[in-house]
Structure 1
Amino acid sequence: MTKKASSSFKEKLFKKRLGFIGIFVSIVVSLLVGGGSVYYFMNKQVKELETANQSLGKISSVYSTLYYNYYKQISQKKLTDGAINGMISALDDPFSEYMSETESSNLNDTMSGSFGGIGTQVEKSSNAIKVIAPIAGTPASKAGIKANDLIVKINGHQTSDMTLNKAVQIMRGKIGTKVTITIKRNGQTFDKTLVRAKIPVKTVTETLDSKNKSIGVIAVTTFSQNTAREMKQSIVSLRKQGAKSFVIDMRNNPGGLMDQALKMSSMFVKDGKVILQVASRSGKPTIYRAGKQFDNGFKVHEKTVVLINGGSASAAEIFSSALRQSAGVKLIGTKSYGKGTVQNTLPFKDKTELKLTIAKWLTPNGTWIHHKGLQPDIKADYPSIAYVLVPNVNKELKLDDSGSSVESLQKMLNFLGYDAGKENGYFSEKTQKAVEAYQKENKLTVNGKADTKTLTTLETQISQKINQNDPVLEKAEDELK
């Protein structure tokens, strides 16, 4: 029975291939009178089609053989997904991938600038997650969550031992599902059960520089559907507040939608100047030039600088290179990531998607920065402590322990002014005394062990100190004086 089914499957596929090839052969015969060039072109297509059909036939044969003859029953989905992933892996391209329904949903949420959640802007405090502000119109806002509320539990789990990222991850989720948060306000504690909803994400934030109120600082976190519109709104707002020049912060921006990068770049570049070139595997590069089709006539003439680092990639590099090469804007920071390819997605009915690299993009002067990145005009960076791998907060470090986590602990303590001794990865008595001094000064349990609360508090204080002293921003301020 199995053999007959397999044989029938092969016969049908073979007939279909023969019929398809026959159609092309008849076309070739009917066009022979038109000249040798047409015959050569069509003959080439037939040969390519024959080769392609032979390959597809082999794939179909293997699929059928595995499905009907493997000693254990195997699902069609598993075979199909395996075949697709196998073909994609043959590309050896980390940016081409077959995405599951969940992965597709997450990507689409990122590109649309929204996600499922409760709608709170939060930060990590010493022993809880602190609400900076609820986002207007979201479940958190409607439930009466207020600024400075402390979220002490999420779904019954204490947040004192949670990292900020972990807490945010738990509060986000599928639209329509519930999450319970325990709030502490003015000494009172109470629960709120919220239904997750679609939360819009603001990808552009603006502020006046703390040292020079004539400088507007604009941070862009990603390029989603509304980023260009948000950029325009930020510039208009800062102009009203007295900004005469701008710092555009593209650090740690992983990129996103190319059309948003084109729209934003065009705002800073004179009409007619090149902002991007896109080259597919066939044909000349498509050249994109600044103009009303992208910026609707909105232009930025104020002096501007752009901040970049190793986390600035893709669309962030498109924007940065366009401003550098076509508007003379200086780049400040460290070398960018170097992603010079363009992807597109093919959705399927089962909500999975194929993300495929379809072209490479070039800077205005035709440079391909893939794996090379953009070099800054002015080099500046955070102190080295910013790149230290934070120890696992759930693993206690104590006397005589050793390893990279202990070395990170020593670097963190020394950075904050506590003498932990040599940064050699050995938890010595001197390191223990530094931990005790830190715990005493920060009103923690003094036990000389780097426990969860100690490590979490250390991480928070270092982040705050780094953000308060940004050497890259300081270079930008000097440049704009």
Structure 2
Amino acid sequence: MENDKLNEESTENNSGFIQMKRFHFVMLLFFVVFLAAGITTFALAFGDEKVVTVATERKEFDKLYSAFDTLKEGYYKELDQDKLVNGAINGMIEALEDPYSDYMNEEEAQKFRESISSSFEGIGAEITEQEGYITIVSPLKGSPAEKAGLKPNDKVISVDDKSLRGMSTTEAVMLIRGEKGTEVKLVIQRPGMDEPLNVTIVRDTIPIETVYGEMVDDKVAKVQITSFAETTSKELVTILNDLQKQGMEGLILDLRQNPGGLLNQAVNISSLFVPKGEILFQIEDREGNTEETKSENDNNVNFPLVVLIDKGSASASEILAAAVSESADVPLVGEKSYGKGTVQRAKDFTDGSNIKFTTEKWLTPKGNWIHEKGIDPDFKVSLPSYADLPIINPEDKLKLSTASTSVKTAQQMLEAIGYKPGRTDGFFDEKTEAAVKKFQKAEKLKATGVLTGQSTVTLMNKLREKIQSNDTQVDKALEVLKEQMK
């Protein structure tokens, strides 16, 4: 669920001579009508009058009113008018065929606001709708989703045995989120894999702490921005000041797995690194008119910078990456980014519901539209192949004489962390059993030779530690940065 959000006031305009029997429905549909044309003025007649006078007639809504009246008068059950109105709005949004536009009822809108302003309870993964499938954009750093091994472009087929096919991102979020400590079962289809993955994740509190910094050596720091929330730019400034006190002379800015967020935060952060007057990005409306947004910051940081991106870097993180690359000659290291080049704005209604809809394209400083194409890094570097291994369901029992893709994954994991399973073709033989027992003994687990439960969880945790300690992308960024610092 993309969080690019700029609220704008909408003008108002409406229509015609409406039969009094439709009055209440017209009022309910008031905010539906202004989506098609803003509302200007209207006048209501009271007393014995049988009509409501409302500016000029809008015949394109006759069929909508007629459909409502037909259902209201003839359907075999009593109807919920609010539910029908919500359905009408949803229908208009779905007709846009835009995965980044969405209607949220009051409860859904509240959860959307929580996701960019405070903490929430769930699994911690940014999702979007692509070609009818709910797809992972990126798991958040340290979240249950990341720990469970979810990856960008994973398709979520079902949640707790309920299919998500055809659902909006908002509907999917309502199913995936839940109270801390509760379990949610996902079926995941990963690109390149024939069999779906069954993943059980324990929900947790997901704090919106979006910036993490550390010194890599005596002179170089690495700062990771995990998303762009309301306080991200302030968090970044605080951490950079602290790192400078620790001796930072060069910075690796890590935007990997960053799904985006608030546009104003991307502007604030880009302005830290792009000289005043240089273009950060351009906005293009449906008429093709463009408007440039430029850096207005007088006090840019004055140390060398390298930025890390990957296929989970999307939207606002791509705006930042493109801005520093094209307007400040900052090198990009890693993999091609996600490719989300549109801007969404949100409109809140008086009842607390909300629509989020695409209003413009955004272009890079040089006028490139990266939508569905992504940004190519200057230095293309992949993580080791074992970093893309799928998760294993801890409920499965992998043991002697079994054969499956899960066994193959386990063998590859064992191989990656230094144990020798003898083969990696998916057949669990005596050598694989011996490797599992050796691993279990080293980790002080019961040496059964069966990979299940805590043994599986520990194996995946050890692999994650291996990935973190052998981060080829950070290594390359450090190499590029050291050249700049000479």
Q: What is the TM-score when the length of structure 2 is the normalising length?
A: 0.70
Supply the distance in 2 between the matched residues of 1:412 and 1:237 (Cα, whole angstroms): 38
Supply the distance in 2 between the matched residues of 1:267 and 1:74 (Cα, whole angstroms): 55
User: Identity over the aligned pairs, expressed in percent?
Assistant: 38
Give the Å deviation of 1:356: 0.6
Q: Does 1:88 align with 2:93?
A: yes
Q: Which residue of 2 aligns with 1:235?
A: 240
Residue identity opposite 1:288 in structure 2: T
Aligned-partner SS, 1:375: coil
Alignment of 1:461-472 (within 5 A): 461-472=462-473
1:12-35 superposed Cα distances (whole Å, 9 cap, x missing partner): 999x99xx9xxxxxxxxxxxxxxx
| Aligned partner of 1:221 among 213, 220, 226 | 226
| Length, aligned pairs only | 372
Supply the distance in 1 between the matched residues of 2:339 and 2:87 (Cα, whole angstroms): 30
Give the Å deviation of 1:351: 2.7
Give the Å deviation of 1:396: 2.4
Residue identity opposite 1:401 in structure 2: T
Bigger Cα displacement from structure 2, 431-440 vs 274-283: 431-440
Give the Å deviation of 1:412: 1.0
Q: Which residue of 1 aligns with 2:414?
A: 413
Q: Which residue of 1 aligns with 2:266?
A: 261
Q: Does 1:474 align with 2:450?
A: no
Aligned-partner SS, 1:395: coil
Supply the distance in 2 between the matched residues of 1:411 and 1:345 (Cα, whole angstroms): 45
Residue identity opposite 2:209 in structure 1: K
Supply the distance in 1 between the matched residues of 2:269 and 2:402 (Cα, whole angstroms): 51
Supply the distance in 2 between the matched residues of 1:470 and 1:252 (Cα, whole angstroms): 14
Q: Which residue of 2 aligns with 1:298?
A: 299
Q: Does 1:56 align with 2:57?
A: no
1:321-341 superposed Cα distances (whole Å, 9 cap, x missing partner): 000000000000000000000
The question of whether the paired residues in 2 share the 8 Å contact of 1:10 and 1:61 is answered with no
Supply the distance in 1 between the matched residues of 2:76 and 2:232 (Cα, whole angstroms): 53
1:7–1:300: structure 2 CA closer, same or farther, 3 Å change rule?
closer
Supply the distance in 1 between the matched residues of 2:25 and 2:315 (Cα, whole angstroms): 42
Give the Å deviation of 1:307: 0.3
Q: Which residue of 2 aligns with 1:422?
A: 423
The question of whether the paired residues in 2 share the 8 Å contact of 1:100 and 1:352 is answered with yes
The question of whether the paired residues in 1 share the 8 Å contact of 2:421 and 2:433 is answered with yes
1:12–1:313: structure 2 CA closer, same or farther, 3 Å change rule?
closer
Alignment of 1:428-439 (within 5 A): 428-439=429-440
1:319–1:123: structure 2 CA closer, same or farther, 3 Å change rule?
closer
Aligned-partner SS, 1:256: coil
Listed as ranges, the gaps of 5+ residues in structure 2 are 1-17, 34-55, 123-140, 145-179, 184-198
Q: Which has the larger radius of gyration?
A: 1
Q: Which residue of 2 aligns with 1:324?
A: 325
| Aligned partner of 2:285 among 280, 284, 302 | 280
The question of whether the paired residues in 1 share the 8 Å contact of 2:227 and 2:261 is answered with yes
Q: Which residue of 2 aligns with 1:130?
A: none
What's the C-alpha RMSD, in Å, of the aligned pairs?
A: 3.1
Q: Which residue of 2 aligns with 1:188?
A: none
| Aligned partner of 1:249 among 250, 254, 258 | 254
1:92–1:427: structure 2 CA closer, same or farther, 3 Å change rule?
farther
Supply the distance in 1 between the matched residues of 2:204 and 2:412 (Cα, whole angstroms): 30
Q: Which residue of 1 aligns with 2:354?
A: 353
1:403–1:101: structure 2 CA closer, same or farther, 3 Å change rule?
farther
The question of whether the paired residues in 1 share the 8 Å contact of 2:200 and 2:393 is answered with no
Bigger Cα displacement from structure 2, 440-449 vs 242-251: 440-449
1:125-146 superposed Cα distances (whole Å, 9 cap, x missing partner): xxxxxxxxxxxxxxxxxxxxxx
The question of whether the paired residues in 2 share the 8 Å contact of 1:317 and 1:374 is answered with yes
Supply the distance in 2 between the matched residues of 1:458 and 1:344 (Cα, whole angstroms): 43
Q: Which residue of 2 aligns with 1:97?
A: 102
Supply the distance in 2 between the matched residues of 1:81 and 1:156 (Cα, whole angstroms): 29
Q: Which residue of 2 aligns with 1:382?
A: 383
The question of whether the paired residues in 2 share the 8 Å contact of 1:113 and 1:226 is answered with no
Q: Does 1:342 align with 2:343?
A: yes
Q: Which residue of 2 aligns with 1:74?
A: 79
Aligned-partner SS, 1:206: strand
Q: Does 1:204 align with 2:180?
A: no
Supply the distance in 2 between the matched residues of 1:435 and 1:281 (Cα, whole angstroms): 59
Aligned-partner SS, 1:477: helix
Supply the distance in 2 between the matched residues of 1:267 and 1:438 (Cα, whole angstroms): 47
Aligned-partner SS, 1:219: strand
Supply the distance in 2 between the matched residues of 1:435 and 1:275 (Cα, whole angstroms): 52
1:13–1:255: structure 2 CA closer, same or farther, 3 Å change rule?
closer
Residue identity opposite 1:243 in structure 2: M
Aligned-partner SS, 2:375: coil
Supply the distance in 2 between the matched residues of 1:321 and 1:263 (Cα, whole angstroms): 14
Supply the distance in 1 between the matched residues of 2:77 and 2:395 (Cα, whole angstroms): 42
Supply the distance in 2 between the matched residues of 1:341 and 1:156 (Cα, whole angstroms): 35
Alignment of 1:40-189 (within 5 A): 53-115=58-120, 166-167=201-202, 169-171=203-205
Bigger Cα displacement from structure 2, 238-247 vs 72-81: 72-81
Give the Å deviation of 1:257: 0.7
1:371–1:350: structure 2 CA closer, same or farther, 3 Å change rule?
same
The question of whether the paired residues in 2 share the 8 Å contact of 1:228 and 1:264 is answered with yes
1:154-206 superposed Cα distances (whole Å, 9 cap, x missing partner): 8799xxxxxx9944x2456xxxxxxxxxxxxxxxxxxxxxxxxxx6x331121
Supply the distance in 2 between the matched residues of 1:112 and 1:380 (Cα, whole angstroms): 34
Higher relative contact order (CA 8 A, sep 6+): 2
1:13–1:473: structure 2 CA closer, same or farther, 3 Å change rule?
closer
Listed as ranges, the gaps of 5+ residues in structure 1 are 1-5, 21-48, 125-153, 158-163, 173-198
Decide which structure has greater helix share: 1
Give the Å deviation of 1:225: 1.2
Supply the distance in 2 between the matched residues of 1:85 and 1:13 (Cα, whole angstroms): 17
Residue identity opposite 1:309 in structure 2: D
